[in-house]
């Protein structure tokens, strides 16, 4: 029996006025994939991820999630995306951002249970049980009753990861999750992400951490000018890139060992 992709992306485009940020992306995301996305600033990496859980609405192409193509085709116009359909997709395609986006007036436990209570209509006891399990997973069980203002940046990001995991998504998206952190806090977040990957969870990660991509991802994408310039196993893309743009990008990272 063949394994179906969790996500099938065909001809994905996104424009802001006259700026074509994504110019036709094709990709199949398979169960258990850990896909690292590299590229210079402005290459379209973050916009790509934001289109996959429809925080940005694509202006062209199709995204199929778990066998269902999202939205409704319209003759001569971009697809129509009903908000009720997108809400369901966002529960199954979780996202962790550069900034933590935690509610400052809620405890850590409250932040993680919020989506379970309001989106999934879970009762308080069940939501707290699930939330505490995810906080344990990211190493923050003892911080459940703290407020975000009392946490380090790395701890805040781990809470954000727990919040996304609590909804039990079948795909996790990480948009440069360590870029807002002080250097000494990067490792604790990457270790959590690596642990999630080791569990076999499907994820896509925009990152500048080339060494992390090499050791954790099973596929690496290099993006430039809104398209995928090169894709393949990390051994190929990072150590023997074929594309001149990939080669030039990686030449600037030679000070890092991987």
Domains defined along the chain, listed by start: 7-251 (3.40.50.300)
Please say if the pLDDT value at position 61 is more than 70.
Answer: yes
The pLDDT assigned to 256 comes to 52
Cα 57 to Cα 61, 110, 160, 175, distances in angstroms: 11, 29, 23, 17
β-pairing, 203-206 with 34-38? Answer: parallel
Distance in angstroms between the alpha carbons of the first and the last residue of the chain: 36
Mean pLDDT of the chain: 93
Please say if the pLDDT value at position 183 is more than 90.
Answer: no
Token pair belonging to 11: 């001809």
Q: pLDDT category, 161, cuts 50, 70, 90? A: very high
- State the Cα–Cα distance between residues 251 and 247, nearest whole angstrom: 6
The pLDDT assigned to 94 comes to 94
Dihedrals phi, psi of 41, to nearest 5 degrees: -55, 135
Tell me the percentage of the chain whose pLDDT exceeds 90.
85
E runs forming strands in 44-184? 60-65, 68-69, 72-74, 77-80, 93-96, 171-175
The pLDDT assigned to 234 comes to 97
The model carries a pTM of 0.93
- State the Cα–Cα distance between residues 78 and 13, nearest whole angstrom: 10
The pLDDT assigned to 43 comes to 94
């Amino acid at each position: 029996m063949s394994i179906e992709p969790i996500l099938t992306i065909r001809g994905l485009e996104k424009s802001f006025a006259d700026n074509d940020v994504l110019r036709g992306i094709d990709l199949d995301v398979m169960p258990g994939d850990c896909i690292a996305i590299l590229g210079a600033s402005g290459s379209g990496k973050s916009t790509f991820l934001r289109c996959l859980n429809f925080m940005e609405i694509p202006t062209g192409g199709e995204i199929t999630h778990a066998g269902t193509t999202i939205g409704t085709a319209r003759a001569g116009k971009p697809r129509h995306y009903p908000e009720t359909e997108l809400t369901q997709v966002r529960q199954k395609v979780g996202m962790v951002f550069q900034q933590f986006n935690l509610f400052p007036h809620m405890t850590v436990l409250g932040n993680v249970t919020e989506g379970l209570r309001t989106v999934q209509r879970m009762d308080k006891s069940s939501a707290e049980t699930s939330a505490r399990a995810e906080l344990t997973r990211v190493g923050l069980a003892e911080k459940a009753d703290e407020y975000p203002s009392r946490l380090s940046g790395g701890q805040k990001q781990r809470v954000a990861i727990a919040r996304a995991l609590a909804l039990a998504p079948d795909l996790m998206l990480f948009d440069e999750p360590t870029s807002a952190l002080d250097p000494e806090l990067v490792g604790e977040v990457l270790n959590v992400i690596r642990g999630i990957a080791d569990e076999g969870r499907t994820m896509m990660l925009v990152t500048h951490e080339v060494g992390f991509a090499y050791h954790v991802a099973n596929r690496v994408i290099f993006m430039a000018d809104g398209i995928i310039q090169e894709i393949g196993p990390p051994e190929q893309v990072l150590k023997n890139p074929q594309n001149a743009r990939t080669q030039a990008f990686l030449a600037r990272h030679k000070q890092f060992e991987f």
